[in-house]
A and B are shown apart, each in its own frame.
Chain A
């Protein structure tokens, strides 16, 4: 029996509809005692927390919110699999079903399905404070009676009311299995439906007759109505009225889009303006630590591995954190306040033209900071086709790792002149690269949309919750959860690959440790990376590039901005203390000449071509790995990589050829 009490490890799971404050309750119950576990068999993570008391402890799983147990998105699939005991999910002692006090009937729809799992159950009516504010406190006794004796507790996760009592109850002892677990028995609803487990599986495969599915749903709604017939309930009328007043402005036909653009502009600006000083400080601190380490340890292979491999790798990871954290923070605030679903509502129409929906908006916005959180954010999308299209195109949006490469090349080669007297040409080129990224993402999505066989689309049933003030402790915990996920998914790979790239550039070791910059340059040319650079030279020669850029391309797979530091070594740039490394590199590149012909290595057309290459190429090992994992298909990830590489090459060639023809050389 699954419902049996297990000694030692008691495991309970939180389930509920989306937007009922389930995660807020999870955070309120477990606080910092939580961790992330990989769900076996499914490529999605699951949050686990621990409740400890004097009598024992309980493991609590936070399962993604669902409206029904017939899952569609990878997120929903976890919830279903855990409840239906599939795919090596941990055995559950029981469930905490979280309901929204102001939307009880919606929760009871899910309850009717949850009952059929036969698992012991405790019903938690959340947002009890909002019901009280409406003058209709949650009638826990009435609800428990109507549900045939299931335990019911009222809580307010955001305010903390009732959380201590709930914690005590969970620690006190096992939950009780519902006495009458069958839908037909509880409220006298008569259905002629087959057992639900087989039915959900059939629904998931899409083989069940639509009329049967609808009939079952109607029966479940009747069940919900019957249960509530004698229970006094309320909707969140006051909150809804306030929301409607706000929405008259926020979703106004004329002002709505302006507010949307303004909010997103602020997010965008904040991420780049406020995060840049922090990122610079991190870079300086890492460089300082490296010098200190080198001075302390002396020159050896181990020192090189630690400083140029490991420490540089750690630096390459944490330098992203200010931007990614700030972006996450702003997105969480927008999401918890309720604006993010309005943004999706507004953005849906333009997204619909390229096979996407408003749901893809926030993940795409994240991709401007980094494609990894963007792609992770696509998990909650139910429509598999949309998920694939959005995942395919997202890496084309200009992520922040491209920015150092763009800045370097632009400052070195684009004239510092003004257009029309007041627009900086350098700024225009950068803006053009951002627009190019957006344009390419749109084209790629539209193209992939046409390529995919058209399947049945799922309706865009996005809930628009009333506006609420985000609770700061919940925001803080969620920020930590997301940052942790980013570090695990992207961070570890960037770190490992940085060490690998270091090894490629450090081996074979020169006979004598290089001391001057020109010796270092000679060492890297004879290294494995140097050989790879020479080896791919024929492929990039039509783009006007040589083996040195080849090394840069290989090295920048760890993270695109590694391109800059690698070129500094390849071009033997001397950076005395206090000098701006990137400015010195820019000067060096501008004066670099081909050893054979004596011609300038880089001309404006060549550089424009290189910029175009970086705008397209999927030059990022973390993104490739995350795409493979999230799509569940290495084939898809490799197809995307090859497609982007070919596209990058062609666009670079076209750009250079056109620039040469225009006489820019």
Chain B
């Protein structure tokens, strides 16, 4: 169930996690951004293939509540933008 990173193709549309609407989900393609951010994200389960759901936004709009691998994490929008997803729906 954990897949290899897919080869990027032109017709594949990637979306950053922070652009999802509550309830939408997608599989991680890659992480981008500073090392400190990507390391923490990878340790928390944000690795290629992992299924991520945006559960809700905080009452004031940020941060986001994100479901990954059975756990819920808070993630600020700017950090969530480091997570690129495909097949988001």
Contacts and interface: CB of A to CB of B under 8 A. Distances in A.
Given A349-B60, A457-B36, A217 B42 contact: yes
B26 interface: no
Given A217-B43, A218-B42, A222-B2, 6 more contacts: A67-B43, A203-B39, A252-B59, A348-B58, A349-B62, A456-B37
Contacts of A102: 70
A459 interface: yes
Given A106-B69, A457-B36, A67 B56 contact: no
Given A203-B39, A214-B47, A464 B69 contact: no
B38 A350 contact: no
A210 B35 contact: yes
B73 A462 contact: yes
A241 to B, nearest CB: 13
B17 to A, nearest CB: 11
B78 to A, nearest CB: 9
B16 to A, nearest CB: 14
Interface in B36-79: 36-45, 47-48, 50, 55-56, 58-63, 65, 69-76, 79
Contacts of B70: 102-103, 105-106, 235-236
Interface string A204-238: 00101110011001100110010000000001100
Given A214-B31, A251-B56, A464 B74 contact: yes
B38 A210 contact: yes
**Which of B38, B62, B70, B76: most chain A Cβ within 10 A?**
B70
B43 A218 contact: no
A461 B58 contact: no
Contacts of B71: 103, 106, 463
Interface stretch (A253-261, A263-271, A543-551): A253-261
How many B residues are at the interface, by size bracket? 35 or more
A345 interface: yes
How many A residues are at the interface, by size bracket? 35 or more
A459 B79 contact: yes
Contact of B59 (A109, A257, A456, A461): A257
Contacts of B48: 218
A638 B62 CA distance: 36
B8 interface: no
A344 interface: yes
Contact of B65 (A221, A235, A349, A464): A464
Contacts of B10: none
A125 to B, nearest CB: 14
B12 interface: no
A256 B73 contact: no
Interface of B: 1-2, 31, 34-45, 47-48, 50, 55-56, 58-63, 65, 69-76, 79, 82
A70 B40 CA distance: 10
A70 B69 CA distance: 21
A473 to B, nearest CB: 26
10 contacts: A72-B40, A105-B69, A251-B65, A256-B58, A345-B74, A358-B63, A456-B35, A456-B36, A456-B37, A464-B74
Contact of A459 (B1, B41, B56, B62): B41
B1 A225 contact: yes
Contacts of B74: 341, 344-345, 348, 358, 460-462, 464
A214 B34 CA distance: 12
A345 B76 CA distance: 10
Contacts of B69: 103, 105-106
A346 interface: yes
A210 B82 CA distance: 13
A206 B39 CA distance: 10
A416 B82 CA distance: 58
A328 B58 CA distance: 26
A352 interface: yes
Interface of A: 67-68, 70, 72, 102-103, 105-106, 109, 203, 206, 208-210, 213-214, 217-218, 221-222, 225, 235-236, 244, 247, 251-254, 256-257, 341, 344-346, 348-350, 352, 358, 456-465
Contacts, number: 128
A456 B34 contact: yes
Contact of A217 (B47, B58, B65, B82): B47
A221 B2 CA distance: 9
Contacts of B61: 349
Nearest to A257: B59
Nearest to B58: A345
Top 6 A-B pairs ranked by shortest CB distance? Answer: A217-B42, A459-B79, A256-B59, A210-B35, A464-B72, A349-B60
A111 to B, nearest CB: 13
A213 B38 CA distance: 9
Nearest to B30: A214
Given A206-B35, A459-B37, A460-B79, A214 B59 contact: no
Nearest to B82: A459
Nearest to B57: A253
A461 B73 contact: yes
Contact of A221 (B47, B60, B62): B47
A221 B41 CA distance: 12
A114 B43 CA distance: 14
A388 B49 CA distance: 37
A109 B43 contact: yes
Contacts of B42: 213-214, 217-218
A251 B59 contact: yes
B65 to A, nearest CB: 6
A636 to B, nearest CB: 22
A206 B37 CA distance: 11
Nearest to B83: A459
B59 A346 contact: yes
Nearest to B41: A459
Contacts of A213: 35, 38-39, 42
Nearest to B60: A349
Contact of B39 (A70, A257, A346, A460): A70
A459 B71 CA distance: 16
Given A456-B35, A458-B40, A459-B79, A253 B73 contact: no
Contacts of A244: 55
B1 A214 contact: no
Nearest to B63: A348
Nearest to A350: B60
A99 to B, nearest CB: 12
A218 B47 contact: yes
Contacts of A345: 58, 63, 65, 74
A158 to B, nearest CB: 19
Contacts of B82: 459
**Which of A208, A358, A456, A461: most chain B Cβ within 10 A?**
A461
